[in-house]
């Protein structure tokens, strides 16, 4: 492979990686715990975008339960985002 082809291949890989990044930027996952009492949304950058807590839960005084449900929902969402990120990467790697 000559240097021109090598640079062409590198540019192609770089373009595909930009496509992966854009796809991951648009990825969001929402998970819930406590039968829907707590919902957490995480994006493809593994940042928490939203947390929703049902009013019924807010009226209770068990702070530890609320914290546990939030932690559980965040962990579930992050786990699913990891799986989706791997799927996107594998899909694009197969095209290389």
**Contact present, 30 and 77 (Cβ < 8 Å):** yes
1 pLDDT band, cuts 50/70/90, is low
Task: Give the tens place of pLDDT for each residue, 18-57.
Answer: 888 888 889 999 999 999 999 999 999 899 999 999 988 8
* Selection from 61, 53, 16 nearest residue 34 by Cα: 53
- What pTM does this model have? 0.71
Task: Give the tens place of pLDDT for each residue, 67-95.
Answer: 899 999 999 999 999 999 999 888 877 77
* Multiple choice CATH, 3-95, 1.10.3720.10, 3.90.170.10, 3.30.1310.10, 3.20.20.140: 3.30.1310.10
With tokens 């240097």, the residue in question is 3
Q: What's the pLDDT at 29?
A: 94
* Selection from 16, 50, 45, 46 nearest residue 32 by Cα: 50
Question: Mean pLDDT, to the nearest integer, of 9-17?
Answer: 83
Q: Residue 78 contacts by C-beta under 8 Å, 6 or more apart in sequence?
A: 42, 46
Domain boundary assignment for the chain: 3-95
Strand partners, 9: none
Whole-angstrom distance, CA of residue 74 vs CA of residue 54 = 16
């Amino acid at each position: 492979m000559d240097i021109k082809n090598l640079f062409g291949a590198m540019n192609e890989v770089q373009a595909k990686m930009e496509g992966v990044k854009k796809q991951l930027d648009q990825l969001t996952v929402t998970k819930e715990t406590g039968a829907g009492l707590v919902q957490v949304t995480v994006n493809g950058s593994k940042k928490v975008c939203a947390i929703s807590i049902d009013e019924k839960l807010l009226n209770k005084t068990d702070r530890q339960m609320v914290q546990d449900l939030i932690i559980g929902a965040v962990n579930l969402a992050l786990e699913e985002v990891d799986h989706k990120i791997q799927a996107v990467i594998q899909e694009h790697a197969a095209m290389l």
